[in-house]
Amino acid sequence: MLQVVQISLKNKAQLKFNTTVVSIPQTLVSVAEYVNLENPVLLFNCQDSPLISLFDVSSLKNYVALYFDKHNHFFVYRGASFHIDENEGNAMLQTQHKIVLFIPHPLDFDIVEVDDLNITYSNDTLNWPHTIDSNYIFKIPQQSADNYKLDVLAPLNVNKVSNEEFLKIDGILPLFIETVHGASPSLTSLHFLAKEKCVRYATIQKSYLSGYYHGITIYEYGQNDLFPRVIDKKNEIHI
The pTM assigned to this predicted structure is 0.76
What architecture (CATH level 2) is domain 2-120? Sandwich (2.60)
Query: Which pLDDT tens digit goes with each residue over 119-160?
Result: 988 898 898 999 999 999 999 999 999 999 999 999 999 999
Integer Cα distance of 5 and 239 in angstroms:
12
CA distances from 76 to 73, 94, 103 (A): 10, 18, 17
Omega within 30 of 0 (cis) for the link into 185: yes
Q: Beta partners for 138?
A: 158, 173
Q: What is the dihedral of CA 143, 149, 150, 152, to 10 degrees?
A: -170
Percent of the chain with pLDDT over 90: 63
pLDDT range class, residue 86, cuts 50, 70, 90: low
Integer Cα distance of 137 and 111 in angstroms:
48
How high does pLDDT run on average in the chain? Answer: 90
For residue 200, pLDDT over 90 is answered with yes
Query: Which pLDDT tens digit goes with each residue over 155-193?
Result: 999 999 999 999 999 989 999 999 999 999 999 999 988
pLDDT range class, residue 239, cuts 50, 70, 90: confident
Q: Where are the domains of the chain?
A: 2-120, 125-235
Omega within 30 of 0 (cis) for the link into 104: no
Three-state secondary structure of the chain: CEEEEEEEECCCCEEEEEEEEEECCCCEEEHHHHCCCCCCEEEEECCCCCCCEEEECCCCCCEEEEEEEEECCEEEEEEEEEECCCCCCCCEEEECCCEEEEEECCCCCCHHHEEEEEEECCHHHCCHHHHCCCCCCEEEEHHHHHHCCCCCCCCCCEEEECHHHHCCCCCCEEEEEEECCEEECCCHHHHHHCCCCCEEEEEEEECCCCCCEEEEEEEEECCCCCCCEEEEEEECCCC
Nearest of 106, 19, 17 to residue 62 by alpha carbon: 106
User: In the predicted model, what is the mean pLDDT of residues 89-113?
Assistant: 89
Tell me, what's the pLDDT at 89?
53
